[in-house]
Structure 1
Amino acid sequence: MRVHVHSAGRSGDRAWPSAAPDATFIAVRSDVPATDAAAEITKAADPIAPDAVFAHSYLAIPAVLAARMTPAARLVLVEPAFYDIARGSRDVDAHVATVERARAHLATGDLRGYWSIIRPLMFGGPSEAATWLEEQPLAAEFAQRTLPWGHGLRADDLAAERTLVVTGGWNDEYETIAARLLDEGATHVVLPGHGHRAQDHPQFAEVAEAFLAG
Structure 2
Amino acid sequence: MSRTAYDQTMRVYLHGSGRSGRDAWPSALAANAVFADVATMDGNDAKIAELSRITPKGSVLFAHSAGAVPAVLSIDRKAVSVEALVLLEPALYDVARGMPAVEQHIDVITHARALADAGDLYGFWREVRPVMFGGPAEQEKWVAEEALAARFASVELPWGHAVTPDMIEGVRTLVITGGWNAEYEAIAAVLVTHGATHQQLVGNEHRPQDHPDFEAAVQCFLEG
TM-score (ref. length: structure 1): 0.89
User: Which residue in 2 is equivalent to 1:79?
Assistant: 89
SS at the partner of 2:131?
helix
Answer yes or no: is 1:107 the counterpart of 2:117.
yes
Change (3 A) 1:5 1:176: same
Give the SS at the match of 2:115: helix
Secondary structure, counterpart of 1:114 in structure 2: helix
Q: Determine what percentage of the aligned residue pairs are the same residue.
A: 44
**Aligned-residue CA RMSD in angstroms?**
2.1
Structure 1 residue ranges (4+ consecutive) displaced by more than 6 angstroms after TM superposition? none
Report the residue type matching 2:62 in the other structure: F
Cα offset, 1:127, TM superposition: 2.9
Tell me whether 116-125 or 140-149 shows the greater mean CA deviation.
116-125
TM superposition shift of 1:200? 1.4
Q: CA deviation at 1:101?
A: 0.5
Q: Which amino acid aligns with 1:208?
A: V
* 1:92 equivalent in structure 2: 102
For 1:42-61, list aligned pairs within 5 A.
Answer: 42-45=52-55, 48-61=56-69
What is the one-letter code of the residue matched to 1:82?
A: L
Residue 107 of structure 1 deviates from its aligned partner by 2.7
Select which of 9, 13, 16 maps to 1:4. 13
**Count of equivalent residues:** 212
Counterpart Cα distance in 1 of 2:11 and 2:145: 36
Q: Distance in 2 between matches of 1:162 and 1:148?
A: 23
Runs of 5+ unmatched residues, structure 1: none
Alpha-carbon distance in 2 for matches of 1:14, 1:149: 22
Select the residue among 38, 43, 46 that pairs with 2:48: 38
1:165-194 deviations in Å (ceiling 9; x for gaps): 011111111111101000111111111111
* TM-score (normalised: structure 2): 0.85
